Each structure stands twice: as structure tokens, then as C-alpha cells.
Amino acid sequence: MNIVLFGPPGAGKGTQSQYLVQRYSYIQISTGDLLRNEIKKNTELGKEILAKIDAGEFVHDEIVNSLIEKIVSKKNYNNKLIFDGYPRNISQAENLDKIMLKNNQSIGAIIYLDVSRSIIEKRILGRIVCEKCNITLNEYHDQEEIEKHKCGKKYFKKRKDDNSETIMKRYDTFIKETNPLLDYYAKKPSFFKVDATAKINEISTKIAEITNV
Ligand code: AMP
């Protein structure tokens, strides 16, 4: 089935997506990663995206929607997609429904990762990502795993947008833009709310239960 994973920045969308990718061969579609890839190309579009991300604002819907459409239309991705960070507002959700319909696809589960603001702040400030294999760890909580990591420690980098001022701004943007989406999705039978303050493996188990329905 195709899955939407959403929740505030730092709720664990990326971590749980990686779990689904590794355990069940899902394809992770992270709009944040797609946008950061565009930035790396150093195009005009990339510069526009960078300005928005640095300001803690959302990138324009049209830009994100077109990135998503290109991916959903790939036939070999059918029923394996996990949307991480998309949709983020009602207009994107409506667009996703349209794209799915056009490609004979549907969303089997909409999972909301529920977590408080104070926990998010701590998680994001410690977050580091391996540039080689894309695993996300936390420098406060995962010391042992970081030391033993298969790619070595040198590839771990902080994301440029993970500083406290940007976090606050992103959190505020999330509340303003994504909370209406929560109301919109909460009415659907395929909606599930998961306590994202639990341990990572407990959250993964819960998600596996939901997605195996
Ligand atoms: P993320 O990696 O999901 O935390 O996203 C990083 C940043 O990319 C966000 O703070 C937004 O500025 C932008 N972004 C990611 N996904 C979307 C989206 N669906 N709509 C608009 N902006 C997005």
C-alpha cells in the first residue's frame, strides 16, 4: 500500500520511513530531500527553494507538487510509496488525491506522528545525517551507534536548517499550515495517530501493525 507519514519537523518521519524502506522495500519520497537535491544543482529554482527553507517557510505548492507528480507516475513504484513530508497542507493533500487517481493509485494509511514541541526541539538540535547512507542519528542519544557506524563517523553532518531559530520558525509554520491538514485527514477511515514520543522501535512496530492491515 501507499502511505502518508506526517507530523511536525523532528517527529521521526525520516527515521520511520527508513525503517519501512529497509524492512519492507518501500520507496521513500521525502519532499525535503527532493528540495535539498534541487538546491545542490545550484539552479535559479534551487536558489528560490533555499531562500524559503532558510527562512523556515514552506516552498511553493507548485514546485513541490511537480516533484511529486514525476515520482508517482513511475509504474514500478506503484503501491510502494511512502510520502515523508508531503502533503503539508490541504491544497497539497487534494493535489495528491488527484495525482493518485490519475495513476490508479490510492493511499492505504495516513499516519500522524504525534509529539510535543519541547521534545522536538531537543531531537532536532542533536540530529545528524550520514551523507553516505542517509541514516539519521542523534548526537545526544546515539553515541554508541555513531561510534560503530558502518560508513565511519566522518560522513555525519548536521542539516543546515537545523538551528534553533529555524526550528522555531518551522514549528510555527507547521502549526499554522499543517494543523488544518490534521483535521482534514482525521476524518478519514485510513487515518491513524501514533504516539511519537515512544521508543523508535516501538513506533516502528506500531506502524508495521497499521500498514499490514
Ligand atoms: P523536511 O526535510 O521534511 O523537514 O523539510 C525541510 C524543508 O523543506 C521544510 O521546512 C520546508 O521549507 C520544505 N518542504 C519540505 N516538504 C515540503 C512540502 N510538502 N511543502 C512545502 N515545503 C516543503
The answer on pLDDT for 213 being more than 70 is no
Which residues does residue 112 pair with via DSSP β-bridges, in sequence order?
6, 193
- pTM above threshold 0.75: yes
Atom of ligand 1 nearest to the CA of 53: 12
Residue 75 pLDDT more than 90? Answer: no
Average pLDDT for 32-43: 92
192 three-class SS = strand
pLDDT in the model for residue 135: 92
Tell me which residue has cell 565511519. Answer: 152
127-130/156-157 β-pairing: antiparallel
Mean pLDDT of the chain: 90
The answer to whether 23 and 80 are in contact (CB under 8 A) is no
Q: Which residue ranges have their beta carbon within 6 Å of ligand 1? A: 9, 31-32, 35, 52-53, 57-59, 64, 85-86, 88, 92, 170
Going from the Cα of 16 to the center of ligand 1, the distance in angstroms, rounded, reads 17
Name which of 77-86, 167-176, 190-199 the model is least confident about. 167-176
The residue nearest atom 3 of ligand 1, judged by CA position, is 32
Closest ligand 1 atom to the C-alpha of 173? 10
* Structure confidence at residue 192 as a pLDDT band (50, 70, 90): very high
Alpha carbons 120 and 165: distance in angstroms, whole number: 13
- Using CA atoms, how far residue 213 sits from 84, 109, 206, 208, 210, in Å, is 20, 9, 11, 9, 6
* Ligand 1 site-directed mutation target among 58, 162, 165, 168, most atoms within 8 Å of CB: 58
Task: Dig out the grid coordinates for 12 from the structure.
Answer: 521521526
**Which of 87-91, 171-175, 194-198 shows the lowest mean pLDDT across its residues?**
171-175
Closest among 189, 178, 24 to 106, alpha carbons compared: 189
Task: Give the Å distance between the CA of 50 and the centre of ligand 1.
Answer: 11
What's the pLDDT tens digit per position in 113-158? 998 888 877 777 888 999 999 999 998 889 999 999 999 999 999 8
9 CA: nearest ligand 1 atom: 4
- Give me 73's grid cell: 507516475
From 50, 55, 62, 87, select the one nearest 177 (Cα to Cα). Answer: 87
Judged on CB neighbours under 10 Å (0-12, 13-18, 19+), 28 is: buried
**Single-letter amino acid, residue 13:** K
